[in-house]
Amino acid sequence: MGRRFDARLGANENVFGPSPKAIAAMQSAASGAWMYGDPEAHELRGAIAALHGVDPAHVMVGEGIDGLLGLLVRMLVAPGDAVVTSEGAYPTFNFHVAGFGGVLHKVPYLGDYEDPDALIAKAAEVRAKLIYIANPDNPMGTYHKAEVITRMIEAVPAGALLILDEAYIDLAPQDAVPQIDPREARVIRMRTFSKAHGLAGARVGYALGPVSVISAFDRVRNHFGMSRASHIGALAALQDSAWLAHVRAEVATARAEIARIAVGNGLSVVPSATNFVCIDCGRDGDFARRVLASLVAQGVFVRMPFVAPQDRCIRVSCGRPEDLAVLAAALPKALKAVDTGV
Protein backbone atom coordinates (compact mmCIF):
# COMPACT_ATOMS: atom_id res chain seq x y z
CA MET A 1 0.00 0.00 0.00
CA GLY A 2 3.03 2.26 -0.13
CA ARG A 3 3.22 2.93 3.61
CA ARG A 4 3.82 1.12 6.87
CA PHE A 5 1.15 0.91 9.53
CA ASP A 6 1.97 1.68 13.16
CA ALA A 7 -0.35 -1.13 14.23
CA ARG A 8 -1.07 -4.12 12.00
CA LEU A 9 -4.48 -5.20 13.28
CA GLY A 10 -6.43 -5.88 10.09
CA ALA A 11 -5.54 -9.32 8.75
CA ASN A 12 -6.14 -11.45 11.86
CA GLU A 13 -2.51 -12.45 11.85
CA ASN A 14 -1.06 -13.78 15.08
CA VAL A 15 1.38 -11.10 16.16
CA PHE A 16 2.46 -13.27 19.11
CA GLY A 17 4.21 -15.33 16.51
CA PRO A 18 4.89 -18.99 15.88
CA SER A 19 6.45 -21.34 18.39
CA PRO A 20 10.16 -20.66 18.87
CA LYS A 21 10.60 -24.34 18.06
CA ALA A 22 8.85 -23.79 14.72
CA ILE A 23 11.08 -20.80 14.01
CA ALA A 24 14.17 -22.85 14.81
CA ALA A 25 12.94 -25.72 12.66
CA MET A 26 12.35 -23.43 9.68
CA GLN A 27 15.76 -21.83 10.16
CA SER A 28 17.39 -25.25 10.14
CA ALA A 29 15.39 -26.17 7.05
CA ALA A 30 16.56 -23.15 5.03
CA SER A 31 19.79 -24.73 3.81
CA GLY A 32 17.81 -27.76 2.64
CA ALA A 33 15.57 -25.67 0.41
CA TRP A 34 17.18 -27.29 -2.65
CA MET A 35 15.14 -30.43 -1.93
CA TYR A 36 11.52 -30.76 -2.94
CA GLY A 37 9.13 -31.17 -0.06
CA ASP A 38 7.45 -34.53 0.37
CA PRO A 39 4.45 -34.40 -1.98
CA GLU A 40 2.58 -36.71 0.39
CA ALA A 41 3.48 -34.65 3.48
CA HIS A 42 3.86 -38.00 5.18
CA GLU A 43 5.22 -36.81 8.54
CA LEU A 44 2.95 -33.79 8.88
CA ARG A 45 -0.17 -35.71 7.90
CA GLY A 46 0.77 -38.43 10.34
CA ALA A 47 1.14 -35.96 13.19
CA ILE A 48 -2.16 -34.25 12.34
CA ALA A 49 -3.90 -37.60 12.15
CA ALA A 50 -2.50 -38.62 15.53
CA LEU A 51 -3.64 -35.33 17.08
CA HIS A 52 -7.18 -35.96 15.89
CA GLY A 53 -7.15 -39.70 16.52
CA VAL A 54 -7.86 -40.57 12.90
CA ASP A 55 -6.10 -42.46 10.14
CA PRO A 56 -3.93 -40.28 7.84
CA ALA A 57 -6.28 -41.21 5.00
CA HIS A 58 -8.70 -38.72 6.55
CA VAL A 59 -6.18 -35.85 6.30
CA MET A 60 -5.16 -33.65 3.35
CA VAL A 61 -2.72 -30.77 3.70
CA GLY A 62 -2.56 -27.87 1.27
CA GLU A 63 -1.58 -24.26 0.65
CA GLY A 64 -3.78 -22.85 3.39
CA ILE A 65 -7.51 -23.29 3.74
CA ASP A 66 -7.85 -21.00 0.71
CA GLY A 67 -6.05 -23.48 -1.49
CA LEU A 68 -8.02 -26.43 -0.16
CA LEU A 69 -11.33 -24.60 -0.61
CA GLY A 70 -10.44 -23.91 -4.24
CA LEU A 71 -9.70 -27.58 -4.87
CA LEU A 72 -12.84 -28.72 -3.09
CA VAL A 73 -15.02 -26.39 -5.15
CA ARG A 74 -13.33 -27.60 -8.31
CA MET A 75 -13.97 -31.22 -7.35
CA LEU A 76 -17.61 -30.85 -6.34
CA VAL A 77 -19.14 -27.82 -8.09
CA ALA A 78 -19.98 -27.97 -11.79
CA PRO A 79 -21.18 -24.87 -13.64
CA GLY A 80 -24.68 -24.03 -12.47
CA ASP A 81 -24.47 -26.04 -9.24
CA ALA A 82 -25.88 -24.39 -6.13
CA VAL A 83 -23.71 -23.47 -3.15
CA VAL A 84 -24.93 -21.95 0.10
CA THR A 85 -23.14 -19.55 2.41
CA SER A 86 -23.92 -16.57 4.63
CA GLU A 87 -24.24 -13.01 3.40
CA GLY A 88 -21.01 -11.34 4.52
CA ALA A 89 -19.08 -14.55 5.20
CA TYR A 90 -15.65 -15.48 3.86
CA PRO A 91 -15.26 -13.84 0.44
CA THR A 92 -12.45 -16.09 -0.78
CA PHE A 93 -14.83 -19.06 -0.72
CA ASN A 94 -17.26 -17.10 -2.89
CA PHE A 95 -14.40 -16.25 -5.26
CA HIS A 96 -13.70 -19.95 -5.78
CA VAL A 97 -17.39 -20.79 -6.31
CA ALA A 98 -17.79 -18.04 -8.88
CA GLY A 99 -14.52 -19.08 -10.52
CA PHE A 100 -15.84 -22.58 -11.20
CA GLY A 101 -19.25 -21.42 -12.33
CA GLY A 102 -21.21 -22.30 -9.19
CA VAL A 103 -24.30 -20.32 -8.19
CA LEU A 104 -24.09 -18.77 -4.73
CA HIS A 105 -27.12 -18.57 -2.48
CA LYS A 106 -26.65 -16.45 0.64
CA VAL A 107 -28.64 -16.35 3.83
CA PRO A 108 -28.41 -13.52 6.36
CA TYR A 109 -26.76 -13.75 9.75
CA LEU A 110 -29.07 -14.15 12.71
CA GLY A 111 -27.92 -11.34 14.94
CA ASP A 112 -24.15 -11.57 14.86
CA TYR A 113 -24.15 -15.32 14.30
CA GLU A 114 -24.16 -17.46 11.20
CA ASP A 115 -27.52 -19.21 11.03
CA PRO A 116 -27.22 -23.00 10.74
CA ASP A 117 -30.96 -23.57 10.35
CA ALA A 118 -31.24 -21.03 7.55
CA LEU A 119 -28.18 -22.45 5.81
CA ILE A 120 -29.60 -25.97 5.93
CA ALA A 121 -33.05 -24.85 4.81
CA LYS A 122 -31.60 -22.94 1.87
CA ALA A 123 -29.41 -25.89 0.93
CA ALA A 124 -32.44 -28.17 0.83
CA GLU A 125 -34.38 -25.61 -1.20
CA VAL A 126 -31.72 -25.11 -3.88
CA ARG A 127 -30.29 -28.67 -3.77
CA ALA A 128 -26.86 -27.33 -2.86
CA LYS A 129 -23.66 -29.28 -3.48
CA LEU A 130 -21.75 -27.38 -0.80
CA ILE A 131 -22.71 -25.50 2.35
CA TYR A 132 -20.17 -23.23 4.02
CA ILE A 133 -20.06 -22.29 7.68
CA ALA A 134 -17.20 -20.98 9.77
CA ASN A 135 -17.13 -21.79 13.47
CA PRO A 136 -15.98 -19.55 15.04
CA ASP A 137 -17.16 -17.04 12.50
CA ASN A 138 -15.14 -14.48 10.56
CA PRO A 139 -15.79 -11.49 10.46
CA MET A 140 -17.90 -11.39 13.64
CA GLY A 141 -15.87 -13.64 15.94
CA THR A 142 -18.89 -15.39 17.41
CA TYR A 143 -19.26 -19.15 17.74
CA HIS A 144 -21.82 -21.88 18.02
CA LYS A 145 -21.48 -24.61 20.58
CA ALA A 146 -20.51 -28.08 19.40
CA GLU A 147 -24.00 -29.49 19.73
CA VAL A 148 -25.36 -26.87 17.32
CA ILE A 149 -22.78 -27.90 14.74
CA THR A 150 -23.46 -31.58 15.38
CA ARG A 151 -27.19 -31.05 14.78
CA MET A 152 -26.37 -29.10 11.65
CA ILE A 153 -24.30 -31.97 10.28
CA GLU A 154 -27.14 -34.38 10.95
CA ALA A 155 -29.48 -32.11 8.98
CA VAL A 156 -27.28 -31.79 5.87
CA PRO A 157 -29.52 -32.68 2.91
CA ALA A 158 -28.67 -35.64 0.73
CA GLY A 159 -26.26 -34.66 -2.06
CA ALA A 160 -24.70 -31.83 -0.09
CA LEU A 161 -21.39 -31.58 1.78
CA LEU A 162 -20.91 -29.21 4.69
CA ILE A 163 -17.64 -27.29 4.84
CA LEU A 164 -16.91 -26.55 8.48
CA ASP A 165 -14.22 -23.88 8.45
CA GLU A 166 -12.49 -24.10 11.82
CA ALA A 167 -9.66 -21.67 11.09
CA TYR A 168 -10.05 -20.05 14.51
CA ILE A 169 -11.09 -23.10 16.53
CA ASP A 170 -7.80 -23.31 18.46
CA LEU A 171 -8.62 -19.91 19.95
CA ALA A 172 -12.20 -20.77 20.89
CA PRO A 173 -13.62 -22.27 24.09
CA GLN A 174 -13.46 -26.04 24.24
CA ASP A 175 -17.25 -26.31 23.92
CA ALA A 176 -16.96 -25.04 20.33
CA VAL A 177 -15.23 -28.24 19.20
CA PRO A 178 -17.55 -31.00 18.04
CA GLN A 179 -16.59 -34.64 18.13
CA ILE A 180 -17.08 -35.89 14.60
CA ASP A 181 -16.73 -39.50 13.51
CA PRO A 182 -14.02 -39.46 10.83
CA ARG A 183 -16.23 -41.62 8.61
CA GLU A 184 -19.00 -38.98 8.73
CA ALA A 185 -19.64 -38.34 5.03
CA ARG A 186 -21.62 -35.11 5.35
CA VAL A 187 -18.88 -32.78 6.56
CA ILE A 188 -15.31 -31.75 5.80
CA ARG A 189 -13.46 -29.69 8.39
CA MET A 190 -10.86 -27.11 7.50
CA ARG A 191 -8.01 -26.21 9.85
CA THR A 192 -5.02 -23.94 9.48
CA PHE A 193 -1.62 -23.13 10.92
CA SER A 194 -2.16 -19.47 10.00
CA LYS A 195 -3.98 -18.33 13.12
CA ALA A 196 -3.31 -19.84 16.56
CA HIS A 197 -0.06 -21.39 15.31
CA GLY A 198 1.18 -18.08 13.91
CA LEU A 199 2.29 -19.43 10.52
CA ALA A 200 0.15 -17.39 8.10
CA GLY A 201 3.18 -16.76 5.90
CA ALA A 202 4.00 -20.47 5.67
CA ARG A 203 0.71 -21.41 3.97
CA VAL A 204 -0.30 -24.64 5.60
CA GLY A 205 -3.89 -25.70 6.03
CA TYR A 206 -5.51 -29.07 6.27
CA ALA A 207 -8.80 -30.80 5.69
CA LEU A 208 -10.28 -33.57 7.82
CA GLY A 209 -12.98 -35.59 6.16
CA PRO A 210 -14.24 -38.82 4.71
CA VAL A 211 -11.68 -40.85 2.76
CA SER A 212 -13.69 -40.55 -0.45
CA VAL A 213 -13.37 -36.77 -0.45
CA ILE A 214 -9.83 -36.61 0.95
CA SER A 215 -8.50 -39.06 -1.64
CA ALA A 216 -10.16 -37.09 -4.45
CA PHE A 217 -7.84 -34.14 -3.73
CA ASP A 218 -5.04 -36.23 -5.23
CA ARG A 219 -6.69 -36.07 -8.63
CA VAL A 220 -6.52 -32.28 -8.80
CA ARG A 221 -3.98 -30.87 -6.36
CA ASN A 222 -0.56 -29.43 -7.16
CA HIS A 223 1.39 -32.31 -5.63
CA PHE A 224 4.55 -30.29 -5.16
CA GLY A 225 2.75 -27.05 -4.24
CA MET A 226 3.84 -26.71 -0.65
CA SER A 227 7.06 -25.33 0.75
CA ARG A 228 9.30 -27.91 2.40
CA ALA A 229 10.21 -25.49 5.20
CA SER A 230 6.52 -24.89 5.82
CA HIS A 231 5.94 -28.61 6.32
CA ILE A 232 8.78 -28.68 8.81
CA GLY A 233 7.64 -25.53 10.63
CA ALA A 234 4.05 -26.73 10.88
CA LEU A 235 5.15 -30.07 12.30
CA ALA A 236 7.21 -28.34 15.00
CA ALA A 237 4.33 -25.98 15.77
CA LEU A 238 1.91 -28.85 16.14
CA GLN A 239 4.18 -30.49 18.68
CA ASP A 240 4.51 -27.37 20.88
CA SER A 241 1.27 -27.34 22.81
CA ALA A 242 2.79 -25.13 25.51
CA TRP A 243 3.26 -22.35 22.96
CA LEU A 244 -0.32 -22.74 21.81
CA ALA A 245 -1.45 -22.27 25.41
CA HIS A 246 0.73 -19.17 25.64
CA VAL A 247 -0.85 -17.75 22.49
CA ARG A 248 -4.34 -18.48 23.79
CA ALA A 249 -3.54 -16.56 26.97
CA GLU A 250 -2.08 -13.60 25.06
CA VAL A 251 -5.11 -13.53 22.77
CA ALA A 252 -7.48 -13.59 25.76
CA THR A 253 -5.61 -10.68 27.29
CA ALA A 254 -5.76 -8.73 24.04
CA ARG A 255 -9.49 -9.42 23.61
CA ALA A 256 -10.09 -8.00 27.09
CA GLU A 257 -7.97 -4.96 26.31
CA ILE A 258 -9.83 -4.26 23.05
CA ALA A 259 -13.10 -4.49 24.99
CA ARG A 260 -11.74 -2.11 27.62
CA ILE A 261 -10.72 0.39 24.92
CA ALA A 262 -14.14 0.13 23.27
CA VAL A 263 -16.05 0.60 26.51
CA GLY A 264 -13.80 3.48 27.48
CA ASN A 265 -14.97 5.21 24.32
CA GLY A 266 -18.62 4.55 24.97
CA LEU A 267 -18.77 1.62 22.54
CA SER A 268 -19.26 -2.12 23.00
CA VAL A 269 -17.79 -5.30 21.53
CA VAL A 270 -19.20 -8.48 20.07
CA PRO A 271 -18.12 -11.47 22.19
CA SER A 272 -15.18 -13.13 20.41
CA ALA A 273 -13.95 -16.71 20.18
CA THR A 274 -11.15 -15.73 17.80
CA ASN A 275 -8.02 -13.57 17.68
CA PHE A 276 -10.00 -10.53 16.62
CA VAL A 277 -12.79 -8.49 18.16
CA CYS A 278 -15.57 -6.57 16.47
CA ILE A 279 -16.02 -3.15 18.08
CA ASP A 280 -19.65 -2.17 17.70
CA CYS A 281 -19.59 1.50 16.75
CA GLY A 282 -23.25 1.76 17.70
CA ARG A 283 -24.55 3.42 14.57
CA ASP A 284 -24.78 2.45 10.89
CA GLY A 285 -22.24 1.25 8.36
CA ASP A 286 -21.54 4.70 7.03
CA PHE A 287 -20.52 5.85 10.48
CA ALA A 288 -18.29 2.83 11.06
CA ARG A 289 -16.67 3.23 7.65
CA ARG A 290 -15.73 6.79 8.53
CA VAL A 291 -14.31 5.71 11.87
CA LEU A 292 -12.32 3.03 10.05
CA ALA A 293 -11.03 5.54 7.51
CA SER A 294 -9.82 7.79 10.29
CA LEU A 295 -8.08 4.91 12.06
CA VAL A 296 -6.36 3.86 8.86
CA ALA A 297 -5.31 7.46 8.23
CA GLN A 298 -3.76 7.43 11.69
CA GLY A 299 -1.71 4.36 10.85
CA VAL A 300 -3.94 1.69 12.40
CA PHE A 301 -4.67 -1.10 9.92
CA VAL A 302 -8.12 -2.52 10.73
CA ARG A 303 -10.95 -3.84 8.60
CA MET A 304 -14.72 -4.30 8.91
CA PRO A 305 -17.59 -6.54 7.87
CA PHE A 306 -18.95 -6.00 4.38
CA VAL A 307 -22.72 -6.09 4.91
CA ALA A 308 -25.38 -4.48 7.11
CA PRO A 309 -26.07 -4.63 9.94
CA GLN A 310 -22.69 -6.23 10.78
CA ASP A 311 -20.96 -3.31 9.09
CA ARG A 312 -21.74 -1.20 12.14
CA CYS A 313 -18.59 -2.85 13.53
CA ILE A 314 -14.86 -2.48 13.08
CA ARG A 315 -12.83 -5.67 13.23
CA VAL A 316 -9.62 -5.42 15.27
CA SER A 317 -7.06 -8.22 15.38
CA CYS A 318 -5.58 -9.08 18.76
CA GLY A 319 -2.33 -7.15 19.10
CA ARG A 320 0.47 -6.79 21.56
CA PRO A 321 0.09 -4.14 24.27
CA GLU A 322 2.05 -1.68 22.13
CA ASP A 323 -0.22 -2.28 19.12
CA LEU A 324 -3.34 -1.80 21.21
CA ALA A 325 -1.87 1.35 22.77
CA VAL A 326 -1.78 2.80 19.26
CA LEU A 327 -5.43 1.84 18.86
CA ALA A 328 -6.29 3.32 22.26
CA ALA A 329 -4.74 6.62 21.23
CA ALA A 330 -6.30 6.66 17.76
CA LEU A 331 -9.87 5.59 18.50
CA PRO A 332 -11.01 8.65 20.46
CA LYS A 333 -9.52 10.89 17.79
CA ALA A 334 -11.33 8.90 15.10
CA LEU A 335 -14.66 9.13 16.89
CA LYS A 336 -14.21 12.84 17.49
CA ALA A 337 -13.15 13.48 13.89
CA VAL A 338 -16.17 11.65 12.52
CA ASP A 339 -18.55 13.39 14.94
CA THR A 340 -17.25 16.83 14.08
CA GLY A 341 -16.80 16.06 10.39
CA VAL A 342 -13.09 16.91 10.57
Taking a C-beta distance cutoff of 8 angstroms, is the pair 283, 312 a contact? yes
179 is an interface residue for its own copies by CB under 8 A: no
250 is an interface residue for its own copies by CB under 8 A: no
- Among 4, 7, 21, 36, the residue binding its own copies under the rule CB under 8 A is 36
Question: What is the pattern of x (binds its own copies, CB under 8 A) and - over residues 302-341?
Answer: ----------------------------------------
Between 39 and 264, CB nearer to its own copies:
39
3-state secondary structure of 163: strand
224 is an interface residue for its own copies by CB under 8 A: yes
Interacting span for its own copies (CB under 8 A) from 20-28, 168-176, 307-315, 322-330: 20-28
CB of 129 to its own copies, least distance (A): 18
Between 239 and 265, CB nearer to its own copies:
239
- Among 99, 173, 264, 332, the residue binding its own copies under the rule CB under 8 A is 99
In terms of Cα–Cα distance, which of 167, 211, 161 is closest to 54?
211
Between 3 and 219, CB nearer to its own copies:
219
Radius of gyration of the chain (CA): 20
Q: What is the DSSP letter of 37?
A: P
70 is an interface residue for its own copies by CB under 8 A: yes
In terms of Cα–Cα distance, which of 67, 246, 116 is closest to 171?
246
- Among 85, 86, 227, 310, the residue binding its own copies under the rule CB under 8 A is 227
- Among 7, 9, 26, 73, the residue binding its own copies under the rule CB under 8 A is 26
| Angle (nearest 5°) at CA 189 between 121 and 102 | 55
Interacting span for its own copies (CB under 8 A) from 59-67, 120-128, 134-142, 168-176: 59-67
Taking a C-beta distance cutoff of 8 angstroms, is the pair 170, 14 a contact? no
229 is an interface residue for its own copies by CB under 8 A: yes
11 is an interface residue for its own copies by CB under 8 A: yes
In terms of Cα–Cα distance, which of 240, 269, 253 is closest to 319?
253
Specify the DSSP element, H or E, that contains 205. strand 205-208
Interacting span for its own copies (CB under 8 A) from 142-150, 218-226, 279-287, 301-309: 218-226
Interacting span for its own copies (CB under 8 A) from 151-159, 162-170, 225-233, 258-266: 225-233
15 is an interface residue for its own copies by CB under 8 A: yes
What beta strand segments (E) does 251-330 contain?
Answer: 268-269, 276-280, 300-301, 313-317
| Angle (nearest 5°) at CA 186 between 182 and 192 | 60
Taking a C-beta distance cutoff of 8 angstroms, is the pair 105, 77 a contact? no
CB of 79 to its own copies, least distance (A): 10
Dihedral, CA of residue 79, residue 83, residue 86 and residue 92, to nearest 10: -50
Separation CA 78–CA 100 (nearest Å): 7
Backbone angles phi, psi at 134, to 5 degrees: -105, 130
Interface residues toward its own copies, by CB under 8 A: 8, 11, 13-18, 22-24, 26-27, 29-37, 63-64, 66-67, 70, 92, 99, 194, 198-203, 219-220, 222-230, 233
